[in-house]
Amino acid sequence: MKVDKAASFAINSSATASSARDVSDRDKTKTASDTFGYAIAKKAFDVVISVMLLPVFLTGCFLLAVANPFLNRGPMFYVQKRMGRDCKPFMAIKFRTMTCVAEVTRGADDPLEVNRITPLGGFLRKSRLDEIPQILNVLRGEMSLIGPRPDCYEHAETYIETVPGYRERHAALPGISGLAQTEVGYVQGIDATRLKVAADLDYISRQSFRLDTWILWRTLKIVAGRGGA
């Protein structure tokens, strides 16, 4: 976790709960034209950029089909049940970056199993190329390019019970990248998730096409510096 950037979102539980109420109140004050116009622009943005990324996705599939048998043996894709908009489940698609196991036992408050990340998987995670297949989720309407990052469904169920404001962050479509990813960084565990939720609620309360394009620019800048997790 990037402590320096996370500091700006280091708020206590009661403040996070207040932010969640603010999100709800702000939604009630938005005009129909504001909401409709932004929704149309965001959808068009998602579809156009995702279609433009399809050649990158297909090229990645070809290269991994060649490299995986030597550097990352097993299936090309990793499909995981995650919590989406309105807390509904969906299956998120990624390029697989870890060794295969019969059963994943990592809990909501457990650290990332870094010992399972393969050398090729490490490169994919650092460059964030492992997220490229999620453009398929975007085209299916399950995700957006920009929004709160979706968590493993089982972990999310725990966070709903333990992290104030966590349920409210699902008022928006989950994103491939988001404000929490660019300004807080990768987080693990319940305590760090509170910081992520604060950033996500801040994003939802200020959602706009301008903010989305700024987050996209920040994401590209981080990817160029291989600042992934």
DSSP readout, the chain?
Answer: --HHHHGGG---HHHHHHHHHHHHHHHHHS-HHHHHHHHHHHHHHHHHHHHHHHHHHHHHHHHHHHHHHHHS-S-SEEEEEEE-GGG-EEEEEEE--B---S-----TTSPP-GGGB-HHHHHHHHHTGGGGGGHHHHHTTS-EEESPPPPBHHHHHHHHHHSTTTGGGGGS--EEE-HHHHHT----HHHHHHHHHHHHHHHHHT--HHHHHHHHHHHHHHHHTT---
pLDDT tens digits for range 148-183: 999 999 999 999 999 999 999 999 999 999 999 999
Sequence ranges of the domains in the chain: 3-224
> Which pTM value belongs to this model?
0.85
Contact 148, 169 (CB under 8 A): yes
**Interacting residues of 186 by C-beta distance below 8 A, sequence separation 6+:** 1, 2, 228, 229
The pLDDT of residue 9 is: 55
pLDDT tens digits for range 73-95: 999 999 999 999 999 999 999 99
Q: Is the dihedral of CA 182, 185, 186, 189 positive or negative?
A: negative
**Residue 6 and residue 41: Cα distance in Å, rounded?**
30
Look over the chain and give the mean of its residue pLDDT values, rounded to a whole number. Answer: 87
